[in-house]
DNA sequence: GCAGGTGGCGTATACGTTTGCAAGAAAGTA
DNA sequence: TACTTTCTTGCAAACGTATACGCCACCTGC
């Protein structure tokens, strides 16, 4: 025996007004007399009424849902991004509809399914929208923000990290500490700010005269891969004295490989730099020098961009590049020895 | 200029049928002639029509959304649980509505907000539903499953780990390897299967005659806390030769504290056992003996319970306790020395 | 040829809101 | 007092779908 559900009609009857009045009582800024509003709200609370958001969405052709498309879950410590994003959006009265990218080819479908639910906006973490899908979104006036990606020419907003600036800092750091042969290890070419970092490192070292990039490897992702990779690198004729990895876990794999498998000392024989500043980087056993990832700022910025687009859909697309810098620990050489 | 949206009416016109036929074409098992269905589907695809799920939900008073209430995000490596859950539910045609528990007092509100969206079911990770809320859910016939919690007497389904069985294994393991003084460190009393583990360890060691629990501390959560805690324990008169921690990261803090701050050898001076088998546990620098957490099975079971309740809402509440066991690495003593 | 059954289809209503419109009330103005 | 202007309010028409109901066509078996 299902409990009879309470609709605006019940509230209207109890309060002695029309359903329209009930609707207005729940619509901020609607034209309604304070006394009526009070009466309606009281009736609503005695009945335990809450407006049916589904019916509202149908009518308004928009819900309070924000679609969240996630990919690369483990690579980058996105838990925090996800948690923060959901918390911030909730705080602004939105709900999160989460979807995992299992198959890149199907992103269009995923977005389509979210559109079915009349999502008010779209957040895409660590994945790029195919141009056609992005165009479709802008056409529908759906505010869209890419996190950790730059949607070149798609008209989407984006929040990411200034990779070029960061790459320059890293290069300077390594050069200053008299490194001569640098290896770059990245995961899948997933995150384009990381590409910018790598390019900047290559360019700046190339002009330094004292330091050069001797290896630039793709597809090195995670602890095991890093650990294997460093052995491979040290089997070559020319060995690195500095390694930059696109993920902390890869970097820790490199450190363990160097110490345990190769018997090297860190940082004397090899400096290691990670990226992301995830929890293990700070642990005593690792003390990894790494790049902080401004999770709070990224989320704050993304939410800000979203909310401003929801208010005024005609704003120009905006790309925000945040600054970040090295967190120096014990996995890299001192300046003067 | 917004693109005109396509409704079932447009499809009906193009196909030369009524809207009812269109609806039936998209409803599996509806009474419709194959030829008509084909015609409708063709018309739909030329127009790019997809049924509006919001309107459908309004009509059916149920959506394909599953509410997901998360708490304790970082404590337990729930990313994978979250990812798997979203992937499995998607595979069955459901969408995930994610909500973060910021304030335990407001869980009722959170659930209320999800109910607004006519969620078809509820998954609660690592949090317990207040009895009143749980009762409300069962009253509405909303399938509900608690993950990592046991909803004693709430009538909710639950999936968790058999803590008593696990605790016995751990106790036996420690006793067998001639440990005498055990310390137990747990985080917030958050996860009740962990309490069962602790109780089982205490009981079984108590009857062993050779081994006893000399400390049982609450609120030790994460690397830093573990690292501080082990120093504190070793400043006492009676020091442990074995530690079990409710989280891997705490255990790694204990290891680093013991080695770096106290100069102890692991496992010679101290055996350390963690819980969760998160990535760092297997790293060469730690080699932590720990308890596996059957993430895949937990998710699979939870989804299974949910789907079966969606089919038949009158099934009895079910509590599944999964078995798990130790992953033995190098942070614990060998058997015979 | 006819009664009874079956399967396919359209009509019309319901789902629970929001909102344009117009009318009525209240309040300000000359 | 009469005439505007400004607020409130209710009516009614959407929003896009699902489905109960009834109708018709067709088939079956006698």
Q: Domains (ranges, CATH) in chain A? A: 8-51 (1.10.260.40), 61-161+295-324 (3.40.50.2300), 163-293 (3.40.50.2300)
Contact A285 B286 (CB under 8 A): yes
Which chain A residues are within 8 Å of B99, Cβ to Cβ?
Answer: 86, 90, 95-96
Q: Which of residues 187-216 of B touch strand D (CB under 7 A)?
A: none
Contacts of B48 in chain A (CB under 8 A): none
| Dihedral sign of CA atoms A72, A75, A78, A79 in order | positive
Q: Which of A65, A74, A284 sits opposite B256 (nearest CB)?
A: A284
Chunked mean pLDDT (size 10), chain B, 337 residues: 76 93 91 92 92 94 93 82 92 94 90 91 89 85 90 84 96 96 89 91 95 95 96 97 96 98 97 96 98 95 94 89 95 84
Identify all chain B residues contacting A99, using CB atoms and an 8 Å cutoff: 86, 90, 95-96
The reported pLDDT for the residue numbered A235 is 97
Q: What are the E-state strand segments in A71-136?
A: 95-100, 121-125
Buried b (16+ CB within 10 A) or exposed e, B189-213: ebbbbbebbbebbbebbeeeeebeb
Name which of B212, B246, B211, B196 is nearest B226 in CA terms. B246
Lowest mean pLDDT among A48-52, A239-243, A310-314, B228-232: A310-314
Rounded Cα distance, A227 and A162, in Å: 28
pLDDT > 90 fraction of chain A, expressed in percent and rounded: 75
Q: How far is the CA of A56 from the C1' of C15 (A)?
A: 12
As a rounded value in angstroms, the CA-to-C1' distance for A177 and C19 is 68
Helices (H), chain B: 8-15, 19-25, 34-47, 53-60, 78-91, 107-116, 131-139, 163-176, 192-208, 223-234, 248-256, 295-311
**Paired tokens of A266:** 């860190």
A202's tokens = 């290559």
Closest among B142, B85, B78, B73 to B114, alpha carbons compared: B142
- What pLDDT is attached to residue A130? 87
Query: Strand D closer than 7 Å to the CB of B27?
Result: yes
Q: Which nucleotides of C are covered by protein (CB under 7 A)?
A: 7-12, 14-20
pLDDT of residue B3: 58
Question: Of B283, B299, B331, which to mutate for an interface test with A (greatest number of A Cβ within 10 Å)?
Answer: B283
- Pairing mode, if any, of strands A290-291 and A326-327? antiparallel
CA→C1' distance for A59 and D14 (Å): 8
Q: Classify residue A277 as exposed, middle or buried by CB count within 10 Å of its CB (0-12, 13-18, 19+).
A: buried
Predicted local confidence at residue A2, as pLDDT: 46
Phi and psi at residue A321, to the nearest 5°: -110, 115
The partner residues of A185 in beta bridges, in order of sequence, read: A217, A245
pLDDT digit string, tens, across residues A141-175: 889 999 998 877 777 899 999 999 999 999 999 99
Question: How many CB atoms lie under 10 A from the CB of residue B35?
Answer: 8
pLDDT at residue A1 is higher than 50: no
Tokens for A257, please give them: 């490989």
Mean pLDDT of A26-39: 90
Q: Sheet containing A271-273: give its strands across.
A: A212-217, A181-185, A242-245, A271-273
């Amino acid at each position: 025996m299902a409990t009879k559900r309470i609709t605006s009609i019940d509230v209207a009857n109890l309060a002695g007004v029309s359903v329209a009045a009930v609707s207005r009582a729940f619509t901020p800024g609607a034209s309604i007399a304070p006394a009526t509003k009070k009466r309606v709200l009281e009736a609503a609370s005695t009945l335990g009424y809450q407006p049916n958001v589904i019916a509202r969405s149908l009518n308004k052709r928009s819900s309070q849902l924000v679609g969240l498309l996630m990919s690369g879950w483990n690579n980058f410590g996105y838990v925090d991004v996800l948690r923060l994003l959901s918390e911030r959006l909730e705080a602004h009265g939105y709900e999160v509809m989460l979807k995992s990218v299992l198959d890149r080819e199907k992103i269009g479908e995923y977005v389509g399914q979210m559109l079915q639910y009349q999502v008010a906006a779209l957040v895409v973490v660590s994945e790029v929208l195919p141009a056609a899908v992005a165009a479709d979104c802008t056409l529908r006036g759906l505010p869209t923000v890419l996190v950790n990606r730059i949607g070149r020419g798609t008209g989407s907003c984006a929040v990411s990290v200034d990779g070029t600036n960061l790459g320059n800092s890293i290069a300077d750091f390594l050069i200053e500490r008299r490194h001569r042969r640098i290896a770059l290890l990245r995961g899948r070419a997933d995150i384009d700010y990381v590409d910018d970092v790598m390019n900047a490192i290559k360019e700046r070292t190339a002009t330094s005269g004292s330091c050069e990039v001797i290896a630039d490897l793709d597809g090195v992702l995670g602890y095991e891969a890093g650990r294997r990779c460093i052995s491979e690198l040290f089997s070559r004729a020319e060995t690195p004295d500095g390694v930059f990895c696109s993920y902390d876990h890869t970097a820790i794999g490199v450190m363990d490989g160097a110490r345990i498998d190769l018997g090297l000392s860190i940082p004397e024989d090899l400096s290691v730099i990670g990226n992301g500043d995830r929890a293990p980087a700070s642990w005593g056993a690792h003390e990894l020098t790494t790049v902080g990832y401004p999770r709070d700022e990224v989320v704050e910025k993304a939410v800000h961009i979203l909310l401003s687009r929801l208010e005024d859909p005609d704003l120009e697309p905006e790309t925000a590049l945040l600054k970040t810098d090295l967190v120096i620990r014990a996995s890299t050489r001192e300046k003067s020895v």
